[in-house]
């Protein structure tokens, strides 16, 4: 998939993106605020800001937030009313900011959209470049609930989108390769993830594909259902998911 395809995908997904429960999930938001240790004097970059949810979350606690994204349609929903926030088009793989501009760089659920390994490394190096010495890069991604389920996770997502899948240690290794010295891994439990809400608000899926994805969960192996704590009743399927929040210090 080339860059213009990614733009097309996010153009189609923008209108329903904010209806996704995980996007505004309070557990994930709390984890970002706690682990990010944001300070009043901080300049923050939200790289791949989308509709600006994380930029808006952080804005009240810092000096300024810049949100960049390749999709102007996603950005069109990012007007958050915080006077210390600026949103603009930009690509995390090649940013126009000078070196050492920010105290924190955040990328939540962005790197799985960067399909080529060398592009992800370039993007991580860019995030490091624009950080001040001692600044933090906070990389967050949804991860399989157990390493043994990586292949199942990939198969399910392949029905939905073209993307990369990471285990937490692979995210840590990317940050080390990009030159970050101290790297820490935090796993966040995101319970009661509602499959129907996720699929209905994707904005691109046919009823047939949605049903296939539900079936792959409900008919998964016992090990799959155990790691996901899968519960199905009255047309709803709930699972417990995990996100990795990996922090690298420059």
Ligand X SMILES: C[S@@+](CC[C@H](N)C(=O)[O-])C[C@H]1O[C@@H](n2cnc3c(N)ncnc32)[C@H](O)[C@@H]1O
199 binds ligand X (CB under 6 A): no
What does the alpha-carbon distance between residue 179 and residue 54 come to, in Å, rounded to a whole number? Answer: 25
Cβ closest to ligand X, residue 48 vs residue 220: 48
Decide if residue 91 touches ligand X (CB under 6 A). Answer: yes
> How far is residue 224's CA from residue 205's CA, in Å, rounded to a whole number?
23
Site for ligand X in 104-163 (CB under 6 A): 108-110, 113-114
Candidate residues 25, 43, 71, 85; the one interacting with ligand X per rule CB under 6 A: 71
SS3 content of the chain, % helix, strand, coil (to 5): 45, 25, 30
Does position 36 bind ligand X by CB under 6 A?
no
Which residue of the chain is nearest ligand X when measured via CB? 50
Phi, psi (rounded to 5 degrees) for 19: -80, -10
Among 45, 62, 65, 70, binds ligand X (CB under 6 A): 70
Q: Binding mask 5-34 vs ligand X (x if CB under 6 A, - otherwise)?
A: -x---x------------x-----------
Binding residue for ligand X, selected from 31, 44, 45, 54, defined by CB under 6 A: 54
Binding of residue 190 to ligand X (CB under 6 A): no
Q: For residue 208, count other CB atoms closer than 10 A to its CB.
A: 9
Question: Considering beta carbons, is residue 21 or 226 the nearer one to ligand X?
Answer: 21
Q: Return the H-helix or E-strand segment holding 185.
A: strand 182-194
Q: Contact between 69 and ligand X (CB under 6 A)?
A: yes
Query: HSE of 8 in the Cβ direction (CA atoms, 13 Å)?
Result: 8
* CB environment 42-55: b (16+ within 10 A), e (fewer): bbbbbbbbbbbbbb
By the criterion CB under 6 A, which residues form the site for ligand X? 6, 10, 23, 48-50, 53-54, 69-71, 74, 91-93, 108-110, 113-114
């Amino acid at each position: 998939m080339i860059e213009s395809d990614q733009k097309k995908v996010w153009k189609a997904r923008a209108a329903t993106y904010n209806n996704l429960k995980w996007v505004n999930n309070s557990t994930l938001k709390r984890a970002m605020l706690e682990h990010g240790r944001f300070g009043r004097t901080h300049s923050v970059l939200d790289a791949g800001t989308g509709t600006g949810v994380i930029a808006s979350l952080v804005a009240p606690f810092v000096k300024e937030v810049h949100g960049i994204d390749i999709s102007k349609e996603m950005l069109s929903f990012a007007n958050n009313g915080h006077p210390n926030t600026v949103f603009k088009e930009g690509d995390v793989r090649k940013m126009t900011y000078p070196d050492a501009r920010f105290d924190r760089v955040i990328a939540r659920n962005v790197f799985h959209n960067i399909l080529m390994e060398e592009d992800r490394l370039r993007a991580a190096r860019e995030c490091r470049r624009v950080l001040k010495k001692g600044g933090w890069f906070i990389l967050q991604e949804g991860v399989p609930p157990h390493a043994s389920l990586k292949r199942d996770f990939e198969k399910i997502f392949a029905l939905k989108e073209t993307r990369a899948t990471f285990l937490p240690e692979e995210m840590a290794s990317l940050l080390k390769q990009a030159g970050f010295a101290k790297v820490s891994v935090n796993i966040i439990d995101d319970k009661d993830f509602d499959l129907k809400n996720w699929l209905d608000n994707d904005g691109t899926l046919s009823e047939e594909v949605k049903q296939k994805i539900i079936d792959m969960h409900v008919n998964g192996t016992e090990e799959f259902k155990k790691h996901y704590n899968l519960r199905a009743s009255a047309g709803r399927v709930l699972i417990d998911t995990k996100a990795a929040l990996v922090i690298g210090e420059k």
